[in-house]
Amino acid sequence: MAGVRRLLAGALLATSAAGVAFVGHHEGLKKTAYRDPVGIVTVCYGHTATARLGQSYSKEACQALLQSDLRAAEAAVRRLVKVPLSQETFDALVSFVFNVGEGNFARSTLLRKLNAGDYVGACRELPKWTLARGRELPGLVTRRNDEMALCLKGLK
């Protein structure tokens, strides 16, 4: 694979500033809690763990929640991925795990392909994840295509 020199052990990686901006862009900032398209209470940049309707946060508090949520997604990627990753591929996977959760990632064909060394095949699995509770969401179509592009960029 071209760019092997750019691949790093996952334990050395953290989400880049560009990766944080990528997730922030796709999640969008909403400082007051709301129900997402499938009814999950969400606040800030896609934070759901402690979100309750009626809550409001400052931009700074939202950024802190995003950093905390990203650390959890990073830890899942580091723990589950057994092959070296480039920064871009790591960022794409963190975005994906942030959105779909560790359990879905752990059970995915994407992860199986990645750990088998099929980097391209793994990246091409991303656009298959566009459903939320059985409904295809246009925002997920866009996000997954962008994640795939970022994932593949890391392989060049």
69 carries an active-site annotation: no
Catalytic residue among 27, 91, 125, 147: 27
Our answer to whether residue 36 is catalytic in this structure is: yes
d(CA 151, CA 104): 18
Q: Of 36, 102, 118, 146, which is the active-site residue?
A: 36
Beta strands (DSSP E) in the chain are 30-35, 41-44, 131-132, 135-136
- Pick left, alpha or beta for residue 118 (phi over 0 → left; psi -120 to 50 → alpha; otherwise beta): beta
Cα–Cα dist 65/74, whole Å:
14
Which residue numbers are catalytic?
27, 36
